[in-house]
Amino acid sequence: MLNELVLKFATWLDSYQSSTDLHESLYMYGWVEGTHVLTLTVFLGMLLAIDLRLLGVAFKEIPASTFVERLNKPMMIGFVVMLISGVLLYYAIPIRSSQSIWFRMKIVLLISAGINAFLIRKMTRGSDMSWDNSPVPPTRIRVGAGLSLCFWALVIACGRMMAYDWWDCHKEMPQFMYWAAGCVNELAAYE
């Protein structure tokens, strides 16, 4: 049922001429994709530095709150532009993206990374910050920073794998993969 709803939404988006125009544009699609990758590096560069500080691996001499405060604004600007360009990339190719196991895994990982970031923020704001000047933060903060790095590494890997068609719906593959990739028409053939 979820696969049918996702496909219906993607088909609706694909019906707009602007979706096709963006995908078939000589320059615009490349610019949007380039912007996505460049702002991804800005966002992840800042996040990497913050996570390394929260892991107690680097920048130990700088108070954690000061470090996060200084890098938070450029990191969030990078994130917002990356998110907008990512939505535009999805808009340009909604059906193929929706029926990609890599895209689906990327979305789940993005949600997981967002929940993790929310929990880290809640833990740091809810604590007395007595560890702020400590070179090694508390274990729960280090675990969150480590998870953050793992989630984002996997998000990047899944995003990169979307370019390949190993698990596309038009290929012959196990029934589970048809379901996981959201291949509605191929699943219907099994029923």
Q: Which of 124, 72, 173 is nearest to 181 (CA)?
A: 173
136: left (phi over 0), alpha (psi -120 to 50) or beta: beta
**Residue 31 confidence (pLDDT):** 96
Distances (CA, A) of 131 to 25, 110, 145, 149, 188: 52, 29, 15, 21, 56
pLDDT at 189: 52
pLDDT at 139: 87
Q: Can you give the residue ranges of every domain in the chain?
A: 2-190
Residue pLDDT, tens place only, 73-116: 999 999 999 999 999 999 999 998 988 889 999 999 999 999 99
* Beta-carbon-side half-sphere exposure of residue 137 (alpha carbons within 13 Å): 28
**Which residue numbers in the chain have pLDDT < 70?**
126-128, 185-191
Sign for the CA dihedral angle at 180, 184, 189, 191 comes to positive
Q: b/e map of 58-71 (b: 16 or more CB within 10 Å)?
A: ebeeeebeebbeeb
Instruction: Give the DSSP letter of residue 138.
Output: -
pLDDT of 130 reads 74
- Global pTM reads 0.85
pLDDT score for 154? 97
Q: SS3 helix, strand, coil % of the chain, rounded to 5?
A: 75, 0, 25
DSSP-based three-state secondary structure for 60: coil
Show the tokens assigned to 126: 């809810």
Q: What is the pLDDT of residue 138?
A: 84
Contact 50, 124 (CB under 8 A): no
